[in-house]
Structure 1
Amino acid sequence: MAGTYDSEQQRMIDRIRCIAFREARDAGATFINRQWIAEKVHRTTRFVTEWWEKSYDQCFADYSNSGPKLKLSQASRDTILNASGKQRKSCSVVAKEIAEKHGEYVVPRTINNYRHREGLKPFHVIPKSLKTETHISDRLWLCDWLKDWTKEDFLHLAPSDEFYVWTVRRPNYQNDRIWARSIEDIEQDERYREMVNHQTCIGVFIMFTCKRLLWVIKDKGESWTGEYFRDVILTQNVFPFLKK
């Protein structure tokens, strides 16, 4: 009998063998019968009976018409393809759009299957790299400037930086998903997520030496301008900190 690792390829081979053995019997090999063939191909006599009188062309399975039928109209398919390469066009969003425009009610899974069938793949929005030629050049200059410093020199170093804590939640990566055949099909403006204008945030300035730490939180309602940085951060905080 057929083993556990039976496959369509093996079944196709055994069908051909059944037909070939039957032709050999018809040519004069009278000892060949269905039971004998079943033992040779490790199949049941029912399998042999089903296939040994058929032609070789019928041994090959045809899957061209198999599987569920596509339940999307041409208008719905166009809507799905038009949503490719754009943000916030998830399967759920497109399903609602199809229902509103064409009155067709399909589940997101149907849209997901159609996208895969059309060769579309999901891409996530990626941030622009900060490692430009200018950034690299500045870092190399700093390394070259510090290469001859001693341990005593670093005791007088006071690194500082400012950063922002955004009050809005982190980006929704499901909304950032873009469906496209390749990354080249995504417009340059769509590929990178932009910051929201006038987004509320908490500004923090930090400075430290080998002995002490300074941190300043931007006053509520103030803008992080050059004037604010000079008058408040430097004059009122940094200079007194360095004099101590």
Structure 2
Amino acid sequence: MAGTYDTEQQTIIDRIKCIAFREARDACATFINRKWITNKIHCTIRLVIEWWENSYDQCFTHYSNTGSKLKLSKASHDIIRKASGRQGKSCSVVVKEIAEKQKETAVRRTINNYRHREGLKPLRVIPKSLKSETHISDRLWLSGWLKNWTEEDFLHLAPSDEFYVCTAHRSYYQNDRICARSIEDIEEHERYREMVKNQICIGLFIMFTCKTLLCVIKDKGDS
């Protein structure tokens, strides 16, 4: 695979191959291009671009401090492992830590790819649900306020006389909308109860709040 080497010997070999393939292209092999060379010798397109126009003598120059290695050292891998599952150790933070401790250059994507490949994940802090007495009281009040509402009541949340009601979700009418002034103007099979002009801000808020309220009541043993 591309980007799996980190030895100077292999880099020198790939530099020579880039130049050789470029010379073959100039001679008669017109099918050869940068992408073809990248796939052929399993290196990065960056290496091909940088070296295929150079001379063979330049291939033996020292490269260790001229850029980032394409494979992190074992010590850097250990840093990634130790940082996983800990708060405040995102990929960006780990990149800086590797640069400071190992003097290696990496990018966030490299860290993320390694974590994904090894099944490692940075710590994700899940906030506690709001279950204080005040929150429970507020949700109970809202539930009591909404429990006797009808379809007409929900549609009255619309900010004007005209509002939009989404049709039933069908593959060939995904973006269809019905403009109605009364619930009777909409056929029963096409009604979407809490859908109003700002359905995300109003309708879904009420649905989500009521659902959360039921969870709180169950957790308190009241239902």
Which TM-score tier does this pair reach, normalised by the shorter chain? Answer: under 0.3
**Higher normalized contact order (CA 8 Å, seq sep 6+, divided by chain length):** 1
Query: Greater strand percent: which structure?
Result: 1
Q: Looking at secondary structure, tell me which structure has more helix per residue.
A: 2
Q: TM-score, normalised by structure 1?
A: 0.26
Structure 1 or 2, whichever has the larger Rg, is 1
